Structure 1
Amino acid sequence: MKRLAVLFITVLTLVSCGDEVEFNSPAFQGNRNEVLWKAEFTNASIDENGYLTINAGNNVETVSLTIPSVAVGTYILGDVNSMEGRYVDANGTVYSTNNRPDPTVSIYPEYGFVKLDEINNNTFTGSFEFNAFDESGLNVINFGGITEQDPITGGIFYRVPLVSGSIPAVVITCDDTEEIALEARANWLASFDPSLEYIDQDTYQSTCNTYREALRVQRDYCGDLDGELQQAIDELNVCPFRCTFATQNRNTAQAAIEAATIANYAVACDNYRFYLEQQLETCGDDDGSIQLALDNLDCGDDDNDGVPNAFEDFDGDGDLTNDDTDNDGIANYLDDDDDGDGVLTIDEAKDADGNPIDTDGDTDVDYLDNDDDGDGLFTQFEPGDTDGDGIPNYLDTDDDDDTILTINENADPNLDGDPADALDTDMDGLPDYLDDM
């Protein structure tokens, strides 16, 4: 974590009249406004968040130092609320490093520190320095030596015992929160990676919120002297789904529906509608173009024949009512047998993907072809499977399996598609195209 170059932390040297200060019992003392201040009682507590607070007092005034982790290290005060130096005077006035100075007093941040040097048998030893302001920001209490006569530069606490709470089994440190934030950031970036076909809104917002919270925790444990963490938190805001993402999703879905086939159109259309609505909600619709696209979108199949309405406008004029392949007076989009061949459109031949096929290769797919196998006989006059080969007659070019194609057995001399006049050479009652003898 970067630290401002202007912040210098002086290693505490404990001196008194030229000699090192030594303690044989818990102690807490410091230079308060250039006067030695000693505590008559000391204790430490750890709250449910794992925050450590060193408390000291003399029955008139109290000092408390709070840091977010029970771990040896230096913690900067005056930057985040999770790290605080607090002094309460005899009148109950609270001075805190989390109160900012009034601009008439100081235009620069007033940084201090708590340095936890040792944790030994549930006791804590270290040093501190800070300026604490009252709520107005006009009055300050200073713990930090500024003259040669100061017996102590800043302050020290020595073997302060833990009386409330316990040291967590897993102590969270600044490094831990940095690592968690980096992982959360990676997950957030992955949620809108360019390789994704669609950017999922729920995934994006979930990973964004997790990342934002991880940054907040990192800020609490590491401080944020250069403001980069807070800037990142502010930029994430409340993690709104971006208009650019919604537009990208809409464009991808639009390309998919434009390339859709009969078999996958319904899914592609529903998908396109979903992303149009997402774009409308996310981006707004100043020119009304998104709503117009929604209004013009038809994902239906009114006759439930497996062919979406969008594929039943054969002349492409946008009018479904004037397309009637079999001329039966029923428009294709309402006709469940579009070619009137007796085989329902939904039952006509399809490929493995579910798309209509053209059995006889005459460029008319079977559901629009009244002679599906191209043998000269209309499909409606070719019931059954005469030769038992598993191919129904209307799709079988050799209905009797005699190796002579039906079209070559004079099955329809008058060429009206009806085999009522089919040739029966041996006069056995079976027309040649159905007679293998």
Structure 2
Amino acid sequence: MKNIFYLFIASLVLSACTTDIQTNNPAFQAKFNDATWRAKDARVSIDGDGRFVITAYTQYETIVLRTSIDDIESYNLGTTNQDNYASYDFDGLDFSSSYDTSLFSGPAYKVSNIVNAGTGYANSNNSQTTPVTGSGSGLKFAIETNVNGNITKVSIVSRGDGYVAGDIVSIVGGDNNARVRILNTQQSNGEIVIEEIDNGKYSGTFKFNAVNSSGEVITFSNGVFYNVSGAGL
């Protein structure tokens, strides 16, 4: 059933779109896995909690992009701040499926921040971690330190598994007191960027990985919304 679903989606997307993304005025479009996805309509709104929402449609599909506010800014997805959120729903013929960027356990995707820089550390390309909160395991970092042995930069070299956005890990080494917070996971992540607001018309970019209840992931990349307003496309 899963393979049939993806083949059906691909046929719809390919029949409705050209090979390359082209920006119309206004427009909402992206790469859906390996094909171009273009909305037939898209509208902006402010929900009852004051959050900014773009809802984009095709005949059977709906994409929702939501941010906590409507300022020109970058908004991370799949984090503990679920006011920033993306979803994809398909409902047509004999198929229906829903994917979103809610919190989901999996390999760590990005680091949020260094909670505690620690002491006594040295530069390393393979620093192991232990969980402080949560039950993830296997995450490893490359770390950079200053002359005082404080960690100044971390980058993921092994994502591990079983992490959830907001988990905190301790970095092994030094005095074992450095702490790092996980931003999001590999199955649920992304970014919405509002780049321009002009008389109620919004332009920007987006990308996200979204997951369904079975752990299956879809990817939207190179997303663009251009001059989208409450009036639609």
Shorter-chain TM band: 0.5 to 0.7
Q: 1:34 to 1:87 in 2, by over 3 A?
A: same
Aligned to 1:140: 217
Aligned to 1:157: 225
Give 1:47 deviation, angstroms.
1.4
- Tell me, yes or no, if the aligned pair for 1:97 and 1:131 is still in contact at 8 Å: yes
- Tell me, yes or no, if the aligned pair for 1:76 and 1:83 is still in contact at 8 Å: yes
CA distance in 2: counterparts of 1:85 and 1:93, whole angstroms: 14
- Tell me, yes or no, if the aligned pair for 2:42 and 2:54 is still in contact at 8 Å: yes
TM-score, structure 2 as length reference: 0.53
| Bigger Rg, which one | 1
Question: Are 2:156 and 1:88 equivalent residues in the alignment?
Answer: no
Give 1:59 deviation, angstroms.
1.5
1:226-265 to 2 correspondence within 5 Å? none
- Tell me, yes or no, if the aligned pair for 2:19 and 2:36 is still in contact at 8 Å: no
- Tell me, yes or no, if the aligned pair for 2:210 and 2:219 is still in contact at 8 Å: yes
Question: Are 2:129 and 1:52 equivalent residues in the alignment?
Answer: no
3-state secondary structure, aligned to 1:162: coil
AA matched with 2:70? V
AA matched with 1:160? V
Aligned to 1:118: 196
Give 1:101 deviation, angstroms.
4.9
1:23-422 to 2 correspondence within 5 Å? 23=24, 25-79=25-79, 80-90=81-91, 91-101=95-105, 107=161, 109-110=185-186, 111-136=189-214, 138-144=215-221, 154-162=222-230
Q: 1:142 to 1:17 in 2, by over 3 A?
A: closer
- Tell me, yes or no, if the aligned pair for 1:99 and 1:135 is still in contact at 8 Å: no
CA distance in 1: counterparts of 2:201 and 2:61, whole angstroms: 22
- Tell me, yes or no, if the aligned pair for 1:101 and 1:133 is still in contact at 8 Å: no
Deviation readout 1:88-126 (Å, 9 max, x if unpaired): 0233321001141556xx836132100000111111110
Aligned to 1:173: none
Aligned to 2:118: none
AA matched with 1:100? F
Instruction: Report percent identity of matched pairs.
Output: 30
Equivalent residue pairs, number: 136
Give 1:27 deviation, angstroms.
0.9
Give 1:135 deviation, angstroms.
1.8
Q: 1:17 to 1:135 in 2, by over 3 A?
A: closer
Q: 1:45 to 1:132 in 2, by over 3 A?
A: same
CA distance in 2: counterparts of 1:45 and 1:68, whole angstroms: 12
TM-align CA RMSD: 2.6
Deviation readout 1:113-151 (Å, 9 max, x if unpaired): 000001111111100011000023x2111012xxxxxxx
- Tell me, yes or no, if the aligned pair for 1:112 and 1:131 is still in contact at 8 Å: yes
CA distance in 1: counterparts of 2:220 and 2:208, whole angstroms: 5
CA distance in 1: counterparts of 2:48 and 2:64, whole angstroms: 18
Give 1:64 deviation, angstroms.
0.8
Deviation readout 1:233-268 (Å, 9 max, x if unpaired): xxxxxxxxxxxxxxxxxxxxxxxxxxxxxxxxxxxx
Give 1:162 deviation, angstroms.
2.1
CA distance in 1: counterparts of 2:216 and 2:32, whole angstroms: 14
Q: Which runs of 5+ in 1 are unaligned?
A: 1-15, 145-153, 165-437
CA distance in 2: counterparts of 1:81 and 1:163, whole angstroms: 26
CA distance in 1: counterparts of 2:207 and 2:217, whole angstroms: 13
User: Whose strand proportion is higher, 1 or 2?
Assistant: 2
User: Whose helix proportion is higher, 1 or 2?
Assistant: 1
- Tell me, yes or no, if the aligned pair for 2:50 and 2:68 is still in contact at 8 Å: yes
